Structure 1
Amino acid sequence: MRVIDTADGLTPEALGEVLGVPVTAVRWERVGSGQIGSCYRLRLDCADGVRRRLVAKLAAEDEGARAFLWPVYRAEVAFYRDLAATVKVRTPRCHYGAISADHTRFVLLLDDLHPAVQGDQLAGCAPDRAAAAVANLAGLHGPRWCDPTLLDVPWLKPVGAEDAAQLGEVFGPAVDTFVERFAGRLDDRDARTLREAADAIAAWVVGRPDVFGLVHGDYRLDNLLFGDDGRVTAVDWQTIGLGHPLRDLAYFLGTSLLPDDRAARERDLVGVYHAELERHGVTGYGLDACFDDYRFAALQGPLITVLGCAYGTPTERGDRMFLAMAARSCAAIRALGTLDLI
């Protein structure tokens, strides 16, 4: 399959070939920061007279970054190729996807969901929008809940004891760096909670293995699009993996809602999620067990926040976002008694 490598390759001829529709003209503009890859909004004029709006996702321009980021490229292309049609979560329709043999070059051509609006991680999420987001999340988890065939997908790998030990070795120093970087801006209570989370992370990440499924890994406001009709669409599937599904729910509610809103509405929101799981066919998993797993899963917040900060390119907005996510998720961990469950 043809891999379009750069923006210059987004020609009418190339797009017509991969889409199977003659394209007479194409206009594109770059969108996003391009830290992980390059993203372009396309306007296509086609020979049938129809104008199409697509988003093209390509690998990062820097060759060194590509060599480091190939696992996330493989994951996102494989999600659209192998998994998207087997679940009910709303995602952009993928019109074409291809990746090179070494996984360092890829292309995805996705629906442009304009005028849907991206969520704002800094501003936080209103509870009514959160309800739509957790219902959509259940569409990812429910259809493949504890599905043993997921273990046969070659590019999906559950976390084992060796992986957990390595995570513990990486996460502890990353927390120390995070605390030092934001000294004077990070609350002392949150610094203590982060360090306690680091001590527990290796045991936590392999905990409660009887419940497993697909995990988005970074299900938060900046990776969600909200339509005028109230529907939510999830994007950015580079971190898809196997694990405890409630990690996504705890991460979303813990980092995307303001602490007072989360405390006031989290039982209702977990109830919305649980009802949707049952609608998607999950049985033998009661609401009390679901809420207890939600409490347990809250370490996903500091895990992704700290590692994202450690490996991302520093920006002013990024720093504010990571601080907000750390504060919100640490407050949730303390309120839910998460560390007592590990």
Structure 2
Amino acid sequence: MDLIQPQPTVESGLIPRPYPQRAELLPWTWQEVTAPWLTRTLQNKYPGIIAESLEVVQLIDSHTTKLRVRVGFNAVGKAAGFPDRLCLKSNWSGGFDDVDICAIEARFYHFLADEMKVPTATCRYADWDDDGRGQGLIILDDLEALGGQFGNSAQHAGVDAVYTALGGLAKLHGSLWDSPLIAQDAAPWLQTSMRTPVDSDQVRIMWRWILKNLEDPNFRAIAPKHYLEEPRRVEWAFDRLGDYERAFDAPYCVILGDCHQGNTYILPSGERLWLDWQLVRRGRPWRDLTYFMIGALTIEERRQNQRDMLAFYRKELIATGASGVIELDAIWEQYRRWVMYGIQAWVANMDHWGQIGLPMNERFFAAGEDHGTWALLLGE
């Protein structure tokens, strides 16, 4: 058993753990998830709870691991409302141990999830280590019990469903719009969009996968010629997007950060439940808005509806009580530039992570050419 050693906290950029009585480190392999381990872990929050049995239902490995389990709880667990199906999420994939995305997601569920005015997954336990390695853990109710379906990048949502999603996205961003709860001093754990290495260095972090996609003839067939001739253009343009965002002055809100259909769950009502808060940020909404819209619409749907959809989103955001929202023409200029966020994200996607990248690359490449995104950012 690896024991936690005392560590400095916020003063050194680390955040105190929510359950300081926990003496053992969180596991780094899913095989360590057993009924005795789950009992010890949950007892930090639920004294007397016992996991009497634990059966693995499904293992899903991508950037991080989702482990679906069936658990038999004692009377304390049942009284606390625990279902018998849970989903545990942590960094058990054997990679990505140089970023803090799992700790960030655990902090979101611990500190902010209850403040959001949109559906999020029910989280029974959120925790992280403060040893500087960025490990975190969340224990969620298994969403399949809700009777809906998981979103996927390859789904054809249709224009009406995207309008519905944009209404939900406006509520997400309006939940803590310009709120003191997300100010730096109140939430030192919440990183600011494009002011943290996981954002600003995303292209460099993911470069080896970008190179893999450049070897794929199907990818090369849809990529712009100027990008194929100089692949580093995506790095240079993304750096300029970061400069543009850091120089911008507007109210902050909470953004999902990785806002595509694959990070949603569609409830039977058609409303989206927003998932995967590993890149949650204090940011401006255009990152989420552009990424979701362009990824969820076909190229023709986007061309025919984008301006009206941006206007609809703005109206819905203001309806949440958000003040100081920029005008539609200014949103349009943000939208044209934030296309690059989607380009750099999908050129690094590996299909075996769970989301099919080729149609997304095609949509974002087309948007980049339609809106002159590369030239805008690179000053050409």
SS at match of 2:254: strand
Measured after TM superposition, the shift of residue 33 of structure 1 is 2.4
- Which residue type is aligned with residue 107 of structure 1? L
Within-5 A mapping of 1:53-72: 53-61=84-92, 65=95, 67-69=97-99, 71-72=100-101
Structure 2: distance between partners of 1:136 and 1:230: 11
Q: Which residue of 2 aligns with 1:255?
A: 295
Measured after TM superposition, the shift of residue 298 of structure 1 is 1.2
2:333 pairs with 292, 305, 308, which one? 292
| Contact 1:95 1:111 survives alignment (8 Å) | yes
SS at match of 1:315: helix
Deviations 1:156-206 (A, max 9, x none): 333678959973982895686155322354235535357444332111113
Q: Which residue of 1 aligns with 2:33?
A: 7
Instruction: Go from structure 1 to structure 2 and tell me whether the alpha carbon gap of 1:156 and 1:191 turns closer, same or farther (over 3 Å shift).
Output: farther
Measured after TM superposition, the shift of residue 104 of structure 1 is 5.0
1:203 pairs with 217, 222, 240, which one? 240
Q: Which residue of 2 aligns with 1:137?
A: 169
Structure 2: distance between partners of 1:140 and 1:151: 20
1:92 pairs with 107, 113, 121, which one? 121
SS at match of 1:186: helix
Give the number of aligned pairs: 334
- Which residue type is aligned with residue 216 of structure 1? L
Instruction: Go from structure 1 to structure 2 and tell me whether the alpha carbon gap of 1:333 and 1:202 turns closer, same or farther (over 3 Å shift).
Output: same
Mean Cα deviation higher: 231-240 or 194-203: 194-203
- Which residue type is aligned with residue 280 of structure 2? I
Deviations 1:55-86 (A, max 9, x none): 33243346x537434x0111101111122233
SS at match of 2:288: helix
Q: Which residue of 2 aligns with 1:272?
A: 312
Measured after TM superposition, the shift of residue 256 of structure 1 is 2.4
Q: Which residue of 1 aligns with 2:357?
A: 322
Normalised to the residue count of structure 2, the TM-score between the two structures is 0.74
Instruction: Go from structure 1 to structure 2 and tell me whether the alpha carbon gap of 1:68 and 1:340 turns closer, same or farther (over 3 Å shift).
Output: closer
> Structure 1: which 4+ aligned runs deviate by more than 6 Å?
none
2:83 pairs with 52, 57, 77, which one? 52
| Contact 1:172 1:198 survives alignment (8 Å) | no
Structure 2: distance between partners of 1:12 and 1:161: 36
Alignment root-mean-square deviation, CA: 3.4
Structure 2: distance between partners of 1:200 and 1:316: 25
Deviations 1:107-141 (A, max 9, x none): 32223222220112123322222222222222232
Instruction: Go from structure 1 to structure 2 and tell me whether the alpha carbon gap of 1:301 and 1:178 turns closer, same or farther (over 3 Å shift).
Output: farther
Q: Which residue of 2 aligns with 1:37?
A: 65
Mean Cα deviation higher: 189-198 or 248-257: 189-198
1:120 pairs with 125, 136, 152, which one? 152
Q: Which residue of 1 aligns with 2:346?
A: 305
Structure 1: distance between partners of 2:243 and 2:359: 27
SS at match of 1:214: strand
Whether 1:283 aligns to 2:323 is yes
| Contact 1:54 1:109 survives alignment (8 Å) | no
- Which residue type is aligned with residue 210 of structure 1? D
- Which residue type is aligned with residue 74 of structure 1? A
Unaligned runs of 5+ in 1: none
Instruction: Go from structure 1 to structure 2 and tell me whether the alpha carbon gap of 1:260 and 1:19 turns closer, same or farther (over 3 Å shift).
Output: farther
Unaligned runs of 5+ in 2: 1-18
Structure 1: distance between partners of 2:354 and 2:122: 30
- Which residue type is aligned with residue 132 of structure 1? T
Normalised to the residue count of structure 1, the TM-score between the two structures is 0.82
Instruction: Go from structure 1 to structure 2 and tell me whether the alpha carbon gap of 1:10 and 1:54 turns closer, same or farther (over 3 Å shift).
Output: farther
| Contact 1:119 1:226 survives alignment (8 Å) | yes
Q: Which residue of 2 aligns with 1:156?
A: 190
Deviations 1:196-230 (A, max 9, x none): 44332111113142134333221111111001111
| Contact 1:255 1:329 survives alignment (8 Å) | yes
